Amino acid sequence: MTDKRRVHNLNSAEISKGTIIYWMSREQRIGDNWGLYYAQQMALESKVPLLVVFTLADSFIGATRRHYGFMLRGLMQVEERAAKLNIPFILLRGEPTHSILRFIEKEEAGCVVCDFDPLRIKRHWFDNAAKEARVRFIEVDGHNIVPCRITSPKREYGAYTLRPKLNRLLPEFLYDIPQIIRHPFLWHGVAEAFDAELLIRELKADERVGEVEAVFSGEAGASAALADFIENRLNGYSVGRNDPLADGQSGLSPWLHFGQLSAQRVAYSVAHMGDTQDVAAFLEELVVRRELSDNFCLHCSGYDSIEAAPDWARRTLEKHRHDPRRFCYSRVEFEKAETDDPLWNSAQREMLITGKMHGYLRMYWSKKILEWTESPEEAIETAIYLNDRYSIDGRDPNGYAGIAWSICGVHDRAWGERPIFGSIRYMSYDGCKKKFDLNRYCQIWKQAVL
């Protein structure tokens, strides 16, 4: 059964007796998918076919070949798994709102179930489609373990205010997820198979940011990565995660971002590994920090700009707006890792080459962009541009929250005042030197071929 608190009506149109459409978007998987599961329950009850529809926009917040490749290869696995379950997978091209509306009209669909997503562009698609449609649109939150709309109805100040709310509700939501079954009611249309490679070429995805060969996308890649983490790196996570040389993090964010992996599945599996410091530290990141990011983006529409800054941070950044900067780099200099700081350049090179940057360095990296640009506004834009363009897990609420935390004090408190930063928390090269073997890290990425 799907907990009704996961479900949110986007309009009040009738549910009619036609095919049920699951409009897959943020949750790109067949297993552990609350939205798909809910859609199938509806289809079984009405004895009608079930379709998975994915609307592929020709461009999406600067996504490149790296992102389209990762996503489309994952979707090919979705198509294959869905076919085995008698659930056709339809990929529609063009502007998503129009594509879905045209499709449901033609199909005389009974209802559309879509994913929860707090980002503006997705809210725009879902809300506009729901407004125009003559059938019911239902949103199901399959991304958050405790549904985002239920955890809190307002923007939270920080982890310290969200944590008790989540902890209170978590026992009601953290359980095994039911799986869908082979669908007994067949659709009589034709679902054309798609070719990821051909689509990437047609989309003219920016080839300058290539795919990362070593990261296998899709549900298969995700479950292998989860098993590897639990077996080899969960023990020691609480210490190892802060060392960029230790390979101490889970590395799961690309799959979580594309919804190829369910956070609830991850949390459920990890929670069963015992009541240890490592398990607690990991769940703090996976549950509290991750769900805080969704809360932030849902309740702060300016999540990717200075508008997101709390009052104290805005005042302090304003006061220090005209402080002299020792260095000021252009976006191109940042992009090409041509600053005067070997650590910053190394972190940037790591991201350019692998599509990932270690979590600890992400904080240092974005704070330095504030220190070396002309204004906080430009710093936010540059950090978002680079993170979204090169990180496989970019364009995610976690990224917008992480950059807002680093540059404009979101979910943080005021610290000692200093030039440029004012009371925004500062991070230094020397501080990093004390945390890990900085020279070795720089050596590795200096030699790596771009």
| Contacts with ligand FAD, residue ranges (CB under 6 A) | 241, 249-253, 256-257, 285-286, 289-290, 293, 359, 362-363, 366, 387, 391, 393-394, 396, 398-399, 401-403, 406
Comparison of 125 and 229: residue with beta carbon closer to ligand FAD: 229
Q: How far is CA 161 from CA 129, 291, 363, in A?
A: 34, 12, 22
99 versus 249: smaller Cβ distance to ligand FAD: 249
Gap between the Cα atoms of 379 and 366, Å rounded: 8
Q: Which is nearer to ligand FAD, 9 or 232 (CB)?
A: 232
Task: Name the token pair of 414.
Answer: 């005021």
DSSP 357-417: --HHHHHHHHHHHHHTSS-HHHHHHHHHHHHHHH-TT-SSHHHHHHHHHHHH-TT------
The structure tokens listed for 368 are 């330095």
Phi-psi region of 409 (alpha: psi -120 to 50; beta: other; left: phi over 0): left
Distances (CA, A) of 378 to 160, 303, 369, 382: 29, 15, 9, 6
Helix (H, G, I), strand (E, B) or coil at 110: coil
> CA torsion, points 32, 34, 36, 41, in degrees to nearest 10?
110
Residue 298 to residue 146: CA distance in whole angstroms: 14
Type of residue found at 237: Y
- Residues near 201 by beta carbon (within 8 Å), at least 6 away in sequence: none
Q: How far is the CB of 284 from ligand FAD (least distance, A)?
A: 9
Indicate if the alpha-carbon torsion angle 51, 57, 60, 63 is positive or negative: positive
Using DSSP, state whether 81 is helix, strand or coil.
helix
CB 54 within 8 A of CB 26: no
Take residue 421 and report the two structure tokens written for it.
């930063």
Cα diameter, the chain: 69
